[in-house]
Amino acid sequence: MRQAKAPSQRQLRVGELIRHALADILNRGEVSDPDLDGRAITVLEVAMTPDLKHATAYVRPLVDADSEAVMAGLDRSRKRFRSALAPKVRLKFLPDLRFRRDTSLDYARKVDAILARPDVARDLDAGED
C-alpha cells in the first residue's frame, strides 16, 4: 500500500491563507444564504491539492442540529464564496472550493467515551503500576 504524500509548505501556506479569508467572510456575513445567515460556522482546515486548483474547507457549524442545512447552504454558495475570496487572497489562480463537514471532534468524543469506560480505565490504571 502506498503512503499519501505529505502536503508541501506551499499547500499548507495557501490553505491557511484561504482558511483565514473564509473565516472572515463567514464572520462578516458577506455571502448571503438563508441557511447560512445568523449561523456560527467554524473553518477548521483548508486542504489544497498539489496543483492548488482545488481547496477543500473542513467546516463545523456551532450548532450540530443545523449541520445539514448549513452544508447545503455552503455548497449552494460556492461560487459566491469564490468571488468573495478573490480580493482577499493574492493568488494567480483562485482554487475551486469544496466544503466538507469536519468530523474530528466527533472522533475525539468517541475516543474520550471509550477511555472513560470503567473497564478501559481499570486497564489504564493497571498499566501505571
Whole-angstrom Cα Rg for the chain: 19
Reported as a pLDDT band with limits 50, 70 and 90, residue 126 is low
Q: Is the pLDDT of residue 129 over 70?
A: no
CA 56, CA 78: separation in Å to the nearest integer? Answer: 11
pLDDT of residue 119: 78
Class of domain 9-102: alpha beta
Grid cell for residue 106? 466527533
Q: Answer positive or negative: Cα dihedral of 108, 114, 118, 124.
A: negative
- Residue whose C-alpha cell is 472572515: 24
Give this prediction's pTM. Answer: 0.78
pLDDT of residue 3: 53
Domain range annotation of the chain: 9-102
The proportion of the chain whose per-residue pLDDT surpasses 90, expressed as a percent, equals: 50
CA 68, CA 81: separation in Å to the nearest integer? Answer: 18
8-55 pLDDT, tens digit per residue, is: 899 999 999 999 999 999 999 899 888 888 888 999 999 999 999 999
Look at 2-6, 32-36, 85-89, 95-99 and tell me which has the smallest mean pLDDT. 2-6
Q: Is the pLDDT of residue 89 over 80?
A: yes
pLDDT of residue 128: 60
